[in-house]
Amino acid sequence: MAREKSSKDNAQALFHSLRSAYAATPVNLKIIDLYVGFAIFTALIQVVYMASVGSFPFNSFLSGVLSCVGTAVLAVCLRIQVNKENKEFKDLPPERAFADFVLCNLVLHLVIMNFLG
């Protein structure tokens, strides 16, 4: 009983510390995180749809899901490069990071549009 209670306390304490630590991140990073979450959510919706309706134009399903996952991954890379706490990317101006992000997304979506069918 005491164990359960302490584990429940632990879980709550953990949740609180996570929340407070996250609240301290700068706003621009939070916006990127929101974008990542949105992309993953869209991908999940597509997977659920495929599971219910069937995967017939498989290339369409693949391109849809991979475009969401791809842009989420690229946004995470952008977040890594823009994060001021990251020592390795101190000298990288955030404009350059954003330009790389846009370029990679461009290539990704060109491929997606070709593969969508």
Partner 1 sequence: MAAPETSTAAVPTLYTNNTLRNAFGGVLSFFILLLIGVMAFSIRLFSVIKYESVIHEFDPYFNYRVTQFLAKNGIYEFWNWFDDRTWYPLGRVIGGTVYPGLTLTAGTIWWLLNSLNIPLSVETVCVFTAPIFSAFASWATFLLTKEVKGTGAGLTAAALLAMVPSYISRSVAGSYDNEAVAIFALIFTFYLYIKTLNTGSLFYATLNSIAYFYMVCSWGGYTFIINLIPMHVLLCIVTGRFSSRLYIAYAPLVVLGTLLAALVPVVGFNAVMTSEHFASFLVFIILHVVAFVYYIKGILSPKMFKVAVTLVVSVGLAVCCAVIAVLIALVASSPTKGWSGRSLSLLDPTYASKYIPIIASVSEHQPPTWPSYFMDINVLAFLVPAGIIACFSPLSDSSSFVVLYIATSVYFSGVMVRLMLVFAPAACITSGIALSQSFDVFTRSIKFQLPGISSNTEVDAAETSSATAEAQNDAVKTEKSEETSKNRPSKKSKKKEKEEKPSTKAKAEKRLLALPLDSSVISLLLLILLGAFYVVHCVWAAAEAYSAPSIVLTSRSHDGLHVFDDFREAYGWLRHNTDVDDKVASWWDYGYQTTAMANRTVIVDNNTWNNTHIATVGTAMSSPEKAAWEIFHSLDVKYVLVVFGGLVGYPSDDINKFLWMVRIGGGVFPHIKEPDYLRDGQYRIDSQATPTMLNCLMYKLSYYRFVETDGKGFDRVRQTEIGKKHFKLTHFEEVFTTHHWMVRIYKLKPPKNRIRGKTKKSKSKTSSTSSRGKRSGSGKKNPWQ
Q: Provide the binding-site residues for partner 1, judged by CB under 8 A.
A: 7, 10-11, 13-14, 17-18, 21-22, 25, 58-59, 62-63, 66, 69-70, 73-74, 76-78, 80-81, 85-86, 88-89, 91-92, 97, 100-101, 103-104, 107-108, 111-112, 114-115
Nearest distance, CB of residue 61 and partner 1, angstroms: 10
- Measured from the CB atom, the residue of 13 and 31 that comes closer to partner 1 is 13
Q: How far is the CB of 46 from partner 1 (least distance, A)?
A: 15
Closest CA to 66 of 83, 82, 53, 47: 47
- DSSP, residue by residue, the chain: -HHHHHHHHHHHHHHHHHHHHHHTS-HHHHHHHHHHHHHHHHHHHHHHHHHHH--SSHHHHHHHHHHHHHHHHHHHHHHHHH-TT-GGGTTS-HHHHHHHHHHHHHHHHHHHHHHH-
Nearer to partner 1, 32 or 70 (CB): 70
Closest separation between CB of residue 9 and partner 1, Å?
A: 10
Give the nearer residue to partner 1 in terms of CB position, either 32 or 101.
Answer: 101
